């Protein structure tokens, strides 16, 4: 039997209030800020230069638009579910309602890759920027305390400290955490806007020509001297031209990852039917506008070829304005960006495990709420230890692809879920409806699968190992303690 949670059952959970339930304290603005906080990290400051130099040139602007459209397909599907089923747990909860308990467990276990490992990866990078920021004031942080033992150091202390501080903040309460996130978002968005405003007047239009740099392979295909499939497997594919714009979209796609974390806070939104679609779609729109304007100014200030191998392409571009004072503020914006990403990822992970624990698939400790703050503080403590250990001791730089593949897998299942529920429950009330179904969900699935296919084979191998471990835990613990299974057995005995 396919054990699924009914929509009325989920809605009853969403309407629970009082002691032992999450506190509804987030406004639409808070939800948009959560999305922006998760999306705009240092990726904006690094991926833009990489994609411009290696793939698309000034047309990296188009790459951002294409990536945003791809993310938008999944975002629209998330918005329908989040408004219809405003329960903590994100894709885990949606899968429970559409594809049953086993697939729900798989996606819940998969989300650990996106949220927990993402937080560890970003915390490790945060420490590197923090040490660079200290250098601006003449303070040299010992290198052995910036890297784990596998990277020639002892322990990454700043990474551990930032994870612990943000975890303690989350334990204090979602409202306080959201207030801090709002400040971080305002800081980094303000610096991005200052960069755009001050840089606009120094744009050299010559740097935007040619807008799409020529690709010799594409020219050969047009002339009939090279077959398309030969070009597809040649070194020219993806390096400028139309193929470069598309490859660039794949590179910058990951600068948009994180908007789905908004849906994990559905049970803490004051008006989820209205706030969740605004939070998910609004954050995507805000970030897309900022990304497009930012990349336009950046490639206009300096020729895209100068960004090749440059660790600080934004500083290189902004040096053309003479406003070198902003370089320090750019560092602050990057730190604020990383901090808000870690905060939202830790929030998302704790809410997913909270939902899984409420369903009996994980031990009760993961759903225990603080009597005063109404936060899953024990889960926060557990993940504080887990994530900080990864960030402090394990070289997590090579886990970036695992984060990506886990995220894209989640996106795909949410798109599939919309198709299933439109078929099985066509008359359900949907405060927000994904437009152009089945086209939008199908396009969302195709984009995600194509992105997954472009990832290295080692990412698939690690995903398979992680999923096998998850299946073992499910059959050893989750299946035996599943509330919905036990309720079914008890009703059958009566």
Task: Report the pLDDT value the prediction gives residue 401, as an integer from 0 to 100.
Answer: 65
pLDDT of residue 42: 63
The alpha helices in 204-309, defined as continuous H runs, are 216-223, 228-232, 241-252, 272-301
Distance of CA 337 to the CA centre of its chain: 13
Q: What would the pLDDT profile of 40-56 be if each residue is shown by its tens digit?
A: 876 787 788 889 999 99
pLDDT, position 237: 85
Measured in residues, the chain has a length of 494
Neighbours of 137 (CB within 10 A): 7
Predicted pLDDT of residue 422? 94
Residue 189: exposure state from Cβ atoms within 10 A (0-12, 13-18, ≥19): buried
Per-residue pLDDT at 455: 72
Report how far residue 259's alpha carbon sits from residue 34's, in angstroms, rounded to the nearest whole number. Answer: 8
> How confident is the model at residue 264, as a pLDDT?
81
Question: What integer pLDDT is reported at residue 494 of this predicted model?
Answer: 45
Alpha-carbon distance 201 to 186, whole Å?
23
**What Cα–Cα distance (Å) separates residue 72 from each residue in 64, 204, 292?**
12, 32, 15
pLDDT for the residue 360:
95
Q: What is the pLDDT of residue 149?
A: 87
pLDDT tens series, the chain, 494 aa: 578 888 788 877 766 665 557 778 888 889 999 889 888 876 787 788 889 999 999 999 999 999 898 889 999 999 998 888 887 777 898 889 888 999 999 989 988 877 888 888 889 888 988 988 898 888 999 989 988 887 788 999 999 999 999 999 999 888 888 899 899 999 989 988 998 999 999 999 999 999 999 999 999 988 888 888 888 888 888 889 998 998 888 888 878 877 887 888 878 888 888 898 999 999 999 999 999 999 999 999 999 999 988 767 888 898 888 887 777 888 888 898 889 989 989 998 998 999 999 999 999 999 999 888 888 999 999 999 999 998 898 776 556 667 778 888 888 989 999 999 999 889 888 999 999 999 999 999 998 888 787 777 877 888 899 999 999 999 999 999 999 999 888 876 54
| Residue in the structure block whose two tokens are 């935007």 | 208
pTM (whole model) above 0.85: no
Q: What is the DSSP letter of 302?
A: S
Q: b/e string for 50-62 if b means 16 or more Cβ within 10 A?
A: bbbbbbbbbbbbb
What is the greatest pairwise CA distance in the chain?
A: 80
Q: What is the C-alpha separation between 232 and 243, in angstroms, rounded?
A: 9
What pLDDT shows up at residue 359? 92
Residue by residue, DSSP assigns 27-92 as -HHHHHHHHHHHH-STHHHHHHHHHIIIIIGGGHHHHHHHHHHHHHHHHHHHHHHHHHS--TTTHH
Q: Over the stretch 196-209, which tens digit does the pLDDT of each residue have?
A: 999 999 999 999 99
Please report the domains of the chain, with CATH numbers, ordered by start residue. 22-487 (1.20.1740.10)
Matching residue, tokens 């070198």: 324
Q: Look at residue 301 in the predicted model and tell me its pLDDT.
A: 95
> Which of the 8 DSSP states describes residue 476?
I
């Amino acid at each position: 039997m396919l054990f699924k949670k009914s929509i009325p059952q989920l809605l009853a959970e969403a309407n629970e209030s009082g002691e032992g339930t999450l506190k509804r304290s987030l406004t639409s603005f808070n939800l948009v800020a959560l999305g922006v906080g998760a999306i705009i990290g240092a990726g904006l400051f690094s991926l833009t230069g990489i994609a411009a130099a290696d793939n698309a040139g000034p047309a990296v602007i188009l790459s951002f638009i294409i990536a945003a459209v791809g993310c938008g397909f999944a975002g629209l599907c998330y918005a329908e579910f989040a408004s219809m089923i405003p329960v903590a747990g994100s894709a885990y909860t949606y899968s429970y309602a559409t594809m049953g308990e086993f697939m729900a467990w798989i996606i819940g276990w998969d989300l650990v890759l996106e949220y927990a490992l993402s937080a560890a990866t970003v915390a490790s990078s945060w420490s590197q920027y923090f040490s660079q920021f200290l250098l601006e004031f003449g303070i040299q942080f010992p290198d052995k305390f910036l890297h784990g033992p596998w990277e020639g150091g002892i322990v990454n202390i700043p990474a551990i400290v930032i994870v612990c501080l943000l975890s303690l903040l989350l334990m204090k309460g979602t409202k306080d955490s959201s207030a801090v996130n709002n400040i971080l978002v305002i800081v980094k968005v303000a610096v991005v806007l200052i960069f755009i405003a001050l840089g606009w007047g120094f744009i050299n239009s010559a740097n935007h020509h040619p807008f799409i740099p020529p690709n010799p392979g594409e020219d050969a295909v047009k002339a009939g001297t090279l077959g398309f499939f030969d070009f597809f497997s040649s070194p020219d594919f993806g390096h400028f031209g139309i193929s470069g714009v598309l490859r660039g979209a794949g590179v910058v796609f990951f600068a948009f990852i994180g908007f789905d974390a908004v849906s994990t806070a559905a049970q803490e939104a004051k008006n989820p039917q209205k706030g969740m679609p605004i939070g998910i779609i609004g954050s995507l729109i805000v970030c897309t506008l900022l990304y497009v304007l930012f990349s336009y100014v950046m490639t206009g200030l300096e020729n895209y070829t100068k960004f090749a191998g440059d660790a600080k392409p934004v500083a290189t571009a902004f040096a053309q304005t003479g406003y070198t004072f902003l370089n320090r503020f750019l560092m602050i914006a990057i730190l604020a960006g990383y901090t808000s990403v870690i905060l939202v990822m830790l929030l998302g992970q704790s809410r997913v495990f909270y939902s899984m624990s409420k369903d009996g698939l994980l031990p009760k400790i993961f759903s225990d709420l603080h009597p005063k703050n109404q936060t899953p503080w024990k889960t926060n403590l557990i993940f504080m230890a887990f994530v900080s250990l990864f960030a402090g001791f394990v070289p997590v730089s090579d886990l970036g692809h695992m984060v990506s593949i886990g995220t894209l897998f989640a996106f795909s299942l949410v798109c599939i879920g919309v198709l299933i529920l439109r078929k099985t429950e066509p008359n359900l009330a949907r405060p927000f409806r994904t437009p152009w179904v089945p086209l939008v969900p199908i396009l969302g699935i195709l984009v995600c699968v194509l992105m997954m296919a472009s990832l290295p084979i080692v990412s698939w191998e690690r995903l398979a190992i992680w999923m096998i471990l998850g299946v073992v835990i499910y059959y050893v613990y989750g299946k035996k303690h599943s509330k919905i299974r036990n309720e079914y057995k008890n009703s059958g005995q009566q």
